[in-house]
Amino acid sequence: MSFEDIHVFSCPKGGKLVVRHQAAQQAADGTIRGVVHINHGLAEHSKRYAQFAQILSGAGYHVYAQDHRGHGQNIAADRPKTMFAMRDGAAKVLSDVDSINQLIKERHPQLPIILFGHSMGGLIAFNYALQEPSKIDALSIWNSNFGSKSERIFARFMLKVERMLKGSDVPSQFLPKVTFRAWAKMNQPSRTMFDWLSSDEESADAYINDPLCGFDPSVAMWLDIFQWMEQGDNPQNWTRLPKNLPISFNGGALDPATSFGQAVTAFATRLQRLNFSDISHKIYAHSRHETLLDQEHDTASHDFIQWADAVVQTHQASQRS
Cβ atoms of 276 and 240 closer than 8 Å: no
Q: Which of 34-48, 129-143, 177-191, 275-289 has the lowest mean pLDDT?
A: 177-191
pLDDT > 70 in the chain, percent:
99
Which backbone phi and psi does 35 adopt, to 5 degrees? -130, 135
- Helix and strand numbers, DSSP H then E, in the chain: 11, 8
Distance between CA atoms of residues 291 and 289, nearest Å: 6
pTM of this prediction? 0.96
CATH topology of domain 7-320: Rossmann fold (3.40.50)
Helical axes 120-131 vs 89-107, angle rounded to 10°: 70
What does the pLDDT look like over 131-163, one tens digit per residue? 999 999 999 999 999 999 999 999 999 999 999
Strand order across the 138-142 sheet: 7-10, 16-22, 61-66, 34-39, 113-118, 138-142, 247-252, 279-284
Tell me 71's DSSP state.
Answer: B
Residue 34 pLDDT exceeds 80: yes
Residue 28 pLDDT exceeds 90: no
What does the pLDDT look like over 233-268, one tens digit per residue? 999 999 999 999 999 999 999 999 999 999 999 999
